[in-house]
């Protein structure tokens, strides 16, 4: 094999790798520079430049320069007519100083830059054409040997330039896709914020209807969020649980106000009317395309119990979705710690006692355990924010003294869940 051919093959191999690298962003400019270097090296050319022709501009954007005069930037204007002329150029390479029969716009372009190119010793301009677009131009000086470019040289140059062009084009596409993705991401976050605000407004509307439980939905949302985070949910799922909590009682919107606000224990008929609210909530929430899973199901099943004695469907343990189980604990905790017309709030030690008594029958031990862990961390001052204490308000300022009760409940729960795991 002729040494020249060998060198050519080597250069092409290197260029093939580079094409990939140009496309994969990385250090894009560095890759273009290396490509130019390879091209120059292959034909022993001393100087050259690769410039981009952005479609929305009539100015070139220089990407790589080699061996040109100091301060020379290869930044010049290329109007649409000139671009079209380069695209139509049949030889694929424009000899700068010959009086070949070019299109008029190209002739005047070359005439305008004649002095500049003479000074920089540029002899050839090769358009980079990719998918019918002028991606850029490659400016080349003459061969070091002083011989003119022959047809084979031009063929090699055109192939290599085309290769560089594809790399640049792909790089541009990737950049556009990236930008588009970034834009979509922003839009998505905006939408999520709007969704969240709407949900909170919705929750406030639910609570206004129930004059005895002001802020109930808001607190259940926050408690659910805390439990989910303690359970190690991903941030997105944590947010979803907050939403599920805010919306769990949305079905109360269809229950008569008098029943919700009855200042006495309601009778069986009223109670069955009130018990429609989980199902009604599901109906209201199902048609909405929530960005989080299980919001409607959490509303539907937040009054189910582990032992199957809940409503509306009497589901048991594993049949109840995890989200609903979380909302159940959050909901009950808020019910225990706020005054109702027929039921006074519990003291903190009574709350712990109730949690213990109802775990396994009403509540899932795993959820109660997570809830207690999070609560204990706050009582022990291990958390930066005081989320629970803020929501519990002034009635539970002395809850800290009952922290040992929580510790005890937690160790009992740990023993149960561990033996359940061992048995199961």
Which residue lies nearer to Fe ion by CB, 332 or 369?
332
Among the listed ranges 36-44, 195-203, 243-251, 347-355, the one in contact with Fe ion (CB under 5 A) is 243-251
Which residue lies nearer to Fe ion by CB, 282 or 388?
282
For residues 288, 291, 294, 295, the Cα torsion angle rounded to the nearest 10 degrees is: -60
Residues within window 251-290 making contact with Fe ion, judged by CB under 5 A: none
As a whole number of angstroms, the distance between CA 293 and CA 322 comes to 11
CB of residue 394 vs Fe ion: minimum separation in angstroms?
26
Query: Judged by CB under 5 A, how many residues of this single chain contact Fe ion?
Result: 1
CB of residue 303 vs Fe ion: minimum separation in angstroms?
6
Answer for the pair 264, 342: CB distance below 8 angstroms, yes or no: yes
**Which two tokens mark 115?**
């002095």
CA angle, 281 then 233 then 379, to 5°: 95
Among the listed ranges 22-30, 247-255, 308-316, 320-328, the one in contact with Fe ion (CB under 5 A) is 247-255
CB of residue 424 vs Fe ion: minimum separation in angstroms?
30
CB of residue 171 vs Fe ion: minimum separation in angstroms?
56
**Which two tokens mark 359?**
């775990």
Which residue lies nearer to Fe ion by CB, 230 or 334?
334
Task: Build a one-symbol-per-residue string for 371-410: x at contacts with Fe ion by CB under 5 A, - elsewhere.
Answer: ----------------------------------------
Which residue lies nearer to Fe ion by CB, 35 or 328?
328
CB of residue 232 vs Fe ion: minimum separation in angstroms?
26
CB of residue 302 vs Fe ion: minimum separation in angstroms?
6
Q: Does 334 bind Fe ion (CB under 5 A)?
A: no
CB of residue 334 vs Fe ion: minimum separation in angstroms?
10
As a whole number of angstroms, the distance between CA 181 and CA 270 comes to 52
> Residues 37, 39, 42, 43: is their CA dihedral positive or negative?
negative
Among the listed ranges 83-91, 167-175, 203-211, 246-254, the one in contact with Fe ion (CB under 5 A) is 246-254
Residues within window 175-214 making contact with Fe ion, judged by CB under 5 A: none
Which residue lies nearer to Fe ion by CB, 122 or 324?
324
Please identify which residue in 52, 153, 218, 249 interacts with Fe ion, judged by CB under 5 A.
249
As a whole number of angstroms, the distance between CA 35 and CA 3 comes to 21
Q: For residue 392, give every residue at least 6 positions away whose Cβ sits within 8 Å of its Cβ, in sequence order, or none.
A: 337, 399
CB of residue 278 vs Fe ion: minimum separation in angstroms?
6
Which residue lies nearer to Fe ion by CB, 178 or 265?
265
Among the listed ranges 29-37, 178-186, 249-257, 337-345, the one in contact with Fe ion (CB under 5 A) is 249-257
Residues that bind Fe ion (CB under 5 A): 249
């Amino acid at each position: 094999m002729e040494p020249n051919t060998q060198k050519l093959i080597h250069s092409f191999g290197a260029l093939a790798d580079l094409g990939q690298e140009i496309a994969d962003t990385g250090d894009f400019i560095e890759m273009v520079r290396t490509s130019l270097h390879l091209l120059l090296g292959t034909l022993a050319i001393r100087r050259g430049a690769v410039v981009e022709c952005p479609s929305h501009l009539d100015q070139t954007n220089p990407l790589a320069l080699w061996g040109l005069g100091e301060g020379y930037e290869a930044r010049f204007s290329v109007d649409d007519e000139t671009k079209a002329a380069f695209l139509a150029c049949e030889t694929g390479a424009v000899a700068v100083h010959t009086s070949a029969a070019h299109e008029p716009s190209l002739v005047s372009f070359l005439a305008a830059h004649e002095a500049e190119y003479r000074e920089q010793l540029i002899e050839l301009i090769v358009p980079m054409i990719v998918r019918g677009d002028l991606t850029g131009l490659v400016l080349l000086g003459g061969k070091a040997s002083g011989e003119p470019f022959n047809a084979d040289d031009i063929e090699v140059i055109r192939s290599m330039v085309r290769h560089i062009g594809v790399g640049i084009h792909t790089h541009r596409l990737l950049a556009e896709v990236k930008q588009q993705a970034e834009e979509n991401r922003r839009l998505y976050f905006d939408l999520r914020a709007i969704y969240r605000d709407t949900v909170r407004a919705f929750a406030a509307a639910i609570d206004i209807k129930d004059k005895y439980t002001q802020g109930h939905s808001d607190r259940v949302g926050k408690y659910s969020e805390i439990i989910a985070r303690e359970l190690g949910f991903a941030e997105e799922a944590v947010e979803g649980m907050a939403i599920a909590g805010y919306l769990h009682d949305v079905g109360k919107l269809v229950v008569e106000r008098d029943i919700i606000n009855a200042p006495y224990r309601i009778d069986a008929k009223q109670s069955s009317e009130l018990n429609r609210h989980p199902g009604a909530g599901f109906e209201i929430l199902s048609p909405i395309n929530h960005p989080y899973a299980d919001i409607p199901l959490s509303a539907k099943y937040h009054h189910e119990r582990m032992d199957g004695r809940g409503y509306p469907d009497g589901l048991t343990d594993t049949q109840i979705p995890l989200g609903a189980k979380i909302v159940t604990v959050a909901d009950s905790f808020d019910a225990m710690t706020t005054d109702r017309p027929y039921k006074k709030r519990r003291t903190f030690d009574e709350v712990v006692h109730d949690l213990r008594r109802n775990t396994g029958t009403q509540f899932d031990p795993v959820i109660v355990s997570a809830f207690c862990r999070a609560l204990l961390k706050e009582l022990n001052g291990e958390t930066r924010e005081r989320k629970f204490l803020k929501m519990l308000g002034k009635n539970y300022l002395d809850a800290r003294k009952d922290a040992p009760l929580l510790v005890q409940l937690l160790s009992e729960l740990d023993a149960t869940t561990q033996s359940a795991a061992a048995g199961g």
